[in-house]
Amino acid sequence: MDGTLRSSEKASMIKLVAEGVECPNSINIDRNTSQLIIDGQALVNSIGKPATATTFGDLAATFIDGVVHLERPYVRVDILFDRYHTKSIKSGTRCRRTRGAAPVRRDITSAAIPLPKNWKNFLALGDNKADLARFLSQEVLQYVFNDIEFVVSGGLIHEEDVRSTNPESDVSSLAATNEEADTRVVLHAVHSDADNIVIMARDTDICLLLIHHFDKMTSSNVWMMSGTAKERKYLPIHEICNILPNVTEDVSSGDEARYQLFGVVKKPEALPPTSDALRLHLLRCHYQVNVWENAHHARPEVMDPESYGWRLHQDEYIPILMTLEPVPKACTDILTYNCLSHCLKTMCTCKKNGLTCTKLCHRSHQCLNSSNA
């Protein structure tokens, strides 16, 4: 336990929701009615530091080339970036991802600035990523390729600044305060009038958000492009939404589940959370779901994290894991013993100390000193 939230295997959820749905390697859509929405930082991560690039100008050229030379052209391409707020519940996740790196600040004042030798250390600093997003956004806005319209958001200096290479396009509805590119993707998809929308991202959260907000979109075909250039895969969000069942089940309490598994699981981490820890976890879930639920709004009302399972410590939001003692004082007196009899004699350590046997005693016989006896 290091005070941080435990990460989960979210990638497996895509396999579950897409089970039974054909996810082709390519799709046939009309260019004139199709829009591409890109998670900008995800594209930066996939490109990495190109072997032939020596300056940030070279990197920008590779970035743009990766968009305009996809296997199929689009009439409009939206490139969206994250914002890096000083006070954010994402701070812990970002620190975990950059653990072991030695961040070095580098200002990108022009295209001629040389790329840093250690790309991982460069991306480990939020200010560097924000600077890179700004630089790439500006480079994209200066680029002209046939009749493709480019729209950028999130990466410019001002949070709500959104711009298009087509001066006649009204993109005012996309001026947003969303911190994450994930929710900006939803906002752009909901406000799109294209018949076909393709989202270029590999994030499980984006996939689930698109499924949840699909009924708000006017597009009849929404695809999520994932994988690599050699192993491309398109997830049909519209088809997944048609087959997902509505399932509701009664769930037992967390404390009851802990009781049933107590002494059975090999590691305490495998136990369900206590009701206290679960309450705080659900508060944090509620906060995050509220962010996702309002992803289609340009200026969503953000709740106070400190009222939903977080505390502010040195300008960083830290999760509150519990409000009760980790172990009740009464539990410090618990003894365990492997009795061979029915625990009626003083040979049973629990019986000798006036305590009832618990599941930790690993009884293989009929115990007459348990609470159920």
**Half-sphere exposure (CA, 13 Å, Cβ side) for 250?**
1
Clarify whether residues 80 and 111 are in a common domain: yes
Which of 140-149, 287-296, 339-348: highest mean pLDDT? Answer: 287-296
Nearest to 187 by CA among 195, 30, 197: 197
Clarify whether residues 52 and 40 are in a common domain: yes
Inside any domain, residue 171: yes
The model's pTM: 0.70
Inside any domain, residue 251: no
Tell me the pairing of strands 196-200 and 162-164. Answer: unpaired
Q: Is the pLDDT assigned to residue 162 strictly greater than 80?
A: yes
Cα-Cα-Cα-Cα dihedral of 14, 245, 219, 175, to 10°? Answer: -70
The predicted pLDDT at position 4 comes to 61
The predicted pLDDT at position 269 comes to 67
89 pLDDT band, cuts 50/70/90, is confident
The predicted pLDDT at position 223 comes to 95
pLDDT tens column, 101-141: 677 889 999 999 999 999 989 988 889 999 999 999 999 99
Inside any domain, residue 3: no
Clarify whether residues 178 and 301 are in a common domain: no
How much is the average pLDDT of 329-348?
64
Name all contacts of 226-231 with Cβ < 8 Å and 24+ positions apart: 226/201, 226/202, 227/202, 228/46, 231/25
Tokens standing for 282? 């659900």
Clarify whether residues 225 and 297 are in a common domain: no
- Residues 195 and 34: beta-carbon distance below 8 Å: yes
Nearest to 13 by CA among 221, 205, 262, 280: 205
Inside any domain, residue 1: no
What DSSP state is assigned to residue 32? G
Clarify whether residues 292 and 357 are in a common domain: no
Clarify whether residues 149 and 19 are in a common domain: yes
Clarify whether residues 200 and 320 are in a common domain: no
Domain edge (last residue) among 243, 275, 300: 243
pLDDT tens column, 23-56: 899 898 988 899 999 999 999 998 999 999 999 9
How much is the average pLDDT of 253-272?
67
Clarify whether residues 214 and 70 are in a common domain: yes
How much is the average pLDDT of 136-164?
91
Q: Is the pLDDT assigned to residue 10 strictly greater than 80?
A: no
**3-state class (DSSP) for residue 35:** strand
Inside any domain, residue 131: yes
Clarify whether residues 15 and 54 are in a common domain: yes
Clarify whether residues 166 and 269 are in a common domain: no
The residue segments making up the domain with residue 268 are 258-324
360 pLDDT band, cuts 50/70/90, is low
Domain edge (last residue) among 243, 273, 302: 243
What percent of the chain is helix, strand and coil (3-state, nearest 5)?
Answer: 35, 15, 50
Domain edge (last residue) among 288, 303, 324: 324
Which has the minimum average pLDDT: 133-147, 156-170, 219-233, 357-371?
357-371
274 pLDDT band, cuts 50/70/90, is confident
Which CATH number does the domain housing residue 115 bear? 3.40.50
Q: What is the mean pLDDT of the chain?
A: 83
215 pLDDT band, cuts 50/70/90, is very high
Inside any domain, residue 178: yes
What's the CA gap between 260 and 250, in Å, rounded? 17
Q: Is the pLDDT assigned to residue 236 strictly greater than 50?
A: yes
Q: What interhelical angle do 126-142 and 40-47 show, nearest 10? A: 100
Other C-beta atoms lying within 10 Å of the C-beta of residue 182: 24
| Structural domain count of the chain | 3
Clarify whether residues 101 and 137 are in a common domain: yes
Inside any domain, residue 4: no
In angstroms, the Cα distances linking 335 to 67, 329, 355, 357, 369 are 64, 13, 8, 8, 13
Clarify whether residues 20 and 147 are in a common domain: yes
How much is the average pLDDT of 307-317?
88
Inside any domain, residue 249: no
